[in-house]
Structure 1
Amino acid sequence: MPYPFVLPTTSSFSFSSSFTCESHPSLPLNASTHRGVVRDTLKKHKRLPPASQAPSLSTVVSSLQSYLPSLFAIDAGLSRKAIHSEEVSVILNSTPQIEWRPTLSHNPIPGREPARTKISSLEYEISFALTTLAAAYTLQARAALHPLYLTSSAPVGTTQRQTAIASATRSLLDSASIYDYLSTRATETPLPAAPCADITPSTVRALRSLALAEATLLAVLKDDPYPAVVAAERNPNDMEWMYKAPDIPKVRAHLFARLCLAAAEHAAQAHALAGSGKLSAEFVKYLDDLRRTSRARACRFFGIDAELSGQTGTAIAWLLAGLQELGVERKAEQKSKSGFKGLRKEWTERREDKKVERGLDWGADAGRLDETRVIEMLEAKWTKQNDTMMTQAIPPVGPLLAQMPSGREIHSLKPYQPPELEPDVLEAMRAPPDRSDDPGNYASSDDETAVDPSLVGAFPGTHGDYRTGTPNYY
């Protein structure tokens, strides 16, 4: 976690081909210029190896933030709305023809790109631009959290851990605010059916709930010592052989459990919204895994709360409830059945660790593996204590799950404010444009190696030096 989004790419587009601004003639040229930078940035980001894409996210975000004021200015001009008390008048001359390549509304086929989506409304251009920015924020949150899951280097310190989680939380809340703005905007300006599922109102609301769920879980992770302890046990570079046992006050353990339940409710809402659309199966599965992980984490904290009260038997039952939510069998049950399941589980864990080290699509299971490791560690420890000292009966799991309280929210979204052009920049656009914004016949945003078919080999201008027709074989 957070979800490893793939950023879309887009075609070139000239705003002057469809829009004219009477009050600010240079506005379409300005929008086309910034959009061209966005297109080029997304194209370069896509061509980078997956492990090298994180450093380019800041460039992607910056280009989108520079493009959005011009885009919203044209949108305001179509509605005859004033910007900084200055009237902007934009006229639609012809229907815009723009293409975006969606990344959520398809089931990926190895070696094949998803089909492009053609849009003919400025509203959908705004939706694609904003959802791309929100996805980039989420990827920045992943990049900030990545060092916390590495086991090939020394564990990060407490200060660095808190800083990383705080930065990731801000990014996720910014992402959620954008999705919240888009969902509100969709109700205020109803449009025909969206050209693809990536920007439908239901998908946008699902993405909003997803970002809120992940941000809520980070509020718990900030003060949850157990994942760090489990990661340290697998880290050969961890030289801290003597450390204090994790200690969570009783009140906070119960609070963390309710926060996890709130995250589970958001994830369940996102899964219900996404399941009704034509979104990729792996994205829908991630939402279900996130719901399961959140409920299992809540069970773990209820177990910690019970163990702190001396109710070891009830605490173990809560851990078993957490494993049931995850759909994982106890280690003892796995050993009693067949060794194949245990080997497969170990292989899955090693593969996930390698993904983390390489910086690929780690966390695609929404943290199920990490939570399973933590619960199994506590279950083994508490079972040993209960068998040797406490000898308390373990109650059934069903009644415990039935008495779960409701979730508790911790985050409130700050309303997203569409960016506006600076007054001096807007005033300068009253001058006529000094050049044309015709994009010309540029290569497609997804043509990795565009080569002129008339050229032979890799040397331009050598076509006439080669024979054509049927060769003679001797």
Structure 2
Amino acid sequence: MPYPFPLPTTSSFSFSSCFNCDSHPSLPLNASTQRAVVRETLKKHKRLPPSSQPANLSSVVSSLTGYLPYLFAVDAGLSHRAVHGDEINVVLKTAPAIEWRPTISDSLVPGKEPPRIKVQSLEYEVFFALSALANTYTLQARAALHPLYVTSTAPVGTQQRQAAVTTATRNLLDAAAIYDYLRSRSETLVTSPPCPDISPAAVSAKCSLALAEATLLAVLKDDPYPAVVAQDRNENDTEWMYRAPDIPRVRAHLFARLCLAASEHAAKAYSLCAGRPAGGKINENFTHYLDDLRRTSRAKACRFFGIDSELGGQTGTAIAWLHAGLQELGIERKESSKKTGGFGRLKKEWTEKREDRKVEKGSNWGADAGKLEETRVLEMLETKWTKQNDTMLTQVIPPVGPLLAQIPSGREIHTIKPFQPPLLEAATLEAMRAPPDRSDEPGAYGSSDEETLTEGTPVGAFPGTQGEYRTATPSYY
């Protein structure tokens, strides 16, 4: 958690080949220059090993935020909108042909990346660029939370934990604002999207997903149990004794309502993606994550209702709430018992160790939406409270069904601030009234995914004789 979005890659593109700007002749050139930076940054990021990618996310954000003001300036010129009171006159010469590789679209061949999609509208260029930025914000949230789950080093302190959660929450809310802007912008489209990534259903689902994850982080910030479970597996932990986690009763009930709100957002996202959105089918890994997040959020809510009951002296009801949480996760009670042996226990231990290795390597960890972590917490509390109830209280454990029937509605904690499209500074826009000093024709590489050079005319060659020239090594520009 959050979802490990892959970042897209894109082909090269020359704005001057498709657009003229009489009022600001240098705008197409500058837009092409900034887009080339984005293309190279995305290409570099994709080729980095997974452990090195988090450190490169700031470069991706910087390149995208540098490109977006120029892209929105061209878009404003096509729509006859003023920027800083300055009219921009952009004329479309020919339809653009830009290639982007989707990130959550289903691949035609299992195990392969989805094929590149040709975008023939500047509107969908805006969608892909903003989606890439929102995905990067989500990945930055993952990078901020990663130290909380590492068990090979000393556990982080309370202040570092809260700072990490605050940073991740801010990034997720920024991503949600972008997706919400794309959702509202998609309502004015008259053409069908070229792929599910930028379909109205997908951007709405991503917005709900980001809001659900940000809501869960509001709970994680003051939830001590995941840290206790991780601490128990950490060999570098020097604390051999700790005080039992104490959560005030009112806050436990509040946390349960927040988890239910997150579950409602995840359920909405899942319903949007479970069908077949416009443009094709969404990758099953993404839809499974949404369903796991819905289940995990409801299981967390059951746990906090159990904590609320246990603090009130109703240990039997508290244990029933834990059983309800395991049921929401789709886990049978016999699997959580210590009596489970043989292949079942071996499989469980192997799954947990595999997830821990993913966390250590920093690759694709948390792809189960925190389902394994919540299972560990529920099993820890069930063992503790069952022993307490069997030896001291001997309260009757009620059935799960009536408890689930009385679950209240969720409670919201975050509001999405409207996303404001970035605008060029007035001085920068005024400077582009000068004619361009060079051409912005694309280089030899057709796509950021390709390594091979396209054949071009050698410098100084007579037209039509490029086949007679050979170079020992290609030139890079």
Q: Same fold (TM over 0.5)?
A: yes
Query: Quick one: distance in 2 between partners of 1:196 and 1:64?
Result: 21
Instruction: Say if 2:143 is the partner of 1:143.
Output: yes
Distance 1:405 1:430, change over 3 A: same
The answer (yes or no) to whether the contact 2:320–2:397 under 8 Å persists in 1 is: yes
Spell out the pairing of 1:401-420 with structure 2 (5 A cutoff). Answer: 401-420=404-423
For 2:213, the equivalent position in structure 1 comes to 214
Report how far residue 402 of structure 1 moved: 0.4
For 1:260, the equivalent position in structure 2 comes to 259
Percent identical residues: 71
For 2:168, the equivalent position in structure 1 comes to 168
RMSD of aligned Cα (Å): 1.6
The answer (yes or no) to whether the contact 1:262–1:407 under 8 Å persists in 2 is: yes
For 2:465, the equivalent position in structure 1 comes to none
What SS does the corresponding residue of 1:51 show, helix, strand or coil? coil
For 1:309, the equivalent position in structure 2 comes to 312
Amino acid at match of 1:269: K
Query: Quick one: distance in 2 between partners of 1:63 and 1:231?
Result: 36
User: What stretches of structure 1 of length at least 5 have no aligned partner?
Assistant: 453-458, 463-474
For 1:295, the equivalent position in structure 2 comes to 298
Instruction: Say if 2:133 is the partner of 1:133.
Output: yes
For 1:123, the equivalent position in structure 2 comes to 123
Query: Quick one: distance in 1 between partners of 2:337 and 2:343?
Result: 9
For 1:231, the equivalent position in structure 2 comes to 230
Query: Quick one: distance in 1 between partners of 2:285 and 2:336?
Result: 29
Amino acid at match of 1:344: K
Tell me which moved more, 275-284 or 161-170: 275-284
Aligned match for 1:444, one of 436, 444, 447: 447
Amino acid at match of 1:369: L
Query: Quick one: distance in 2 between partners of 1:384 and 1:203?
Result: 46
Report how far residue 243 of structure 1 moved: 1.6
Report how far residue 80 of structure 1 moved: 1.1
Query: Quick one: distance in 1 between partners of 2:88 and 2:447?
Result: 33
Query: Quick one: distance in 2 between partners of 1:442 and 1:394?
Result: 67
Q: Deviations over 1:418-467 (max 9, x none)?
A: 00000000000000001000013225311246699xxxxxx9639xxxxx
Report how far residue 337 of structure 1 moved: 6.5
The answer (yes or no) to whether the contact 2:444–2:454 under 8 Å persists in 1 is: no
For 2:76, the equivalent position in structure 1 comes to 76
Query: Quick one: distance in 1 between partners of 2:442 and 2:108?
Result: 30
Instruction: Say if 2:355 is the partner of 1:352.
Output: yes
Query: Quick one: distance in 2 between partners of 1:58 and 1:153?
Result: 25
Amino acid at match of 1:215: A
The answer (yes or no) to whether the contact 2:9–2:42 under 8 Å persists in 1 is: yes
Q: Deviations over 1:302-323 (max 9, x none)?
A: 0000000000000000000000
Amino acid at match of 1:257: A
Query: Quick one: distance in 1 between partners of 2:108 and 2:168?
Result: 28
For 2:56, the equivalent position in structure 1 comes to 56
For 2:67, the equivalent position in structure 1 comes to 67
What SS does the corresponding residue of 2:364 show, helix, strand or coil? coil
Q: Deviations over 1:319-361 (max 9, x none)?
A: 0000000011225676657621221111000000000000000
Query: Quick one: distance in 2 between partners of 1:235 and 1:337?
Result: 24
Report how far residue 67 of structure 1 moved: 0.3
Amino acid at match of 1:291: R
What SS does the corresponding residue of 1:24 show, helix, strand or coil? coil
The answer (yes or no) to whether the contact 1:334–1:341 under 8 Å persists in 2 is: no
Query: Quick one: distance in 1 between partners of 2:266 and 2:451?
Result: 37
For 1:90, the equivalent position in structure 2 comes to 90
User: What stretches of structure 2 of length at least 5 have no aligned partner?
Assistant: 456-469
For 2:472, the equivalent position in structure 1 comes to 461
Report how far residue 114 of structure 1 moved: 1.9
Query: Quick one: distance in 1 between partners of 2:134 and 2:346?
Result: 39
Query: Quick one: distance in 2 between partners of 1:373 and 1:338?
Result: 17
TM-score (norm 1): 0.93
Instruction: Say if 2:359 is the partner of 1:361.
Output: no
The answer (yes or no) to whether the contact 1:303–1:319 under 8 Å persists in 2 is: yes
Query: Quick one: distance in 2 between partners of 1:162 and 1:461?
Result: 56
Distance 1:442 1:391, change over 3 A: same
Distance 1:270 1:346, change over 3 A: same
The answer (yes or no) to whether the contact 1:334–1:342 under 8 Å persists in 2 is: no
Distance 1:41 1:439, change over 3 A: same
For 1:154, the equivalent position in structure 2 comes to 154
Aligned match for 1:386, one of 385, 389, 393: 389
How many residues are matched? 455
Amino acid at match of 1:164: A
Report how far residue 107 of structure 1 moved: 3.9
The answer (yes or no) to whether the contact 1:107–1:281 under 8 Å persists in 2 is: no
What SS does the corresponding residue of 2:51 show, helix, strand or coil? helix
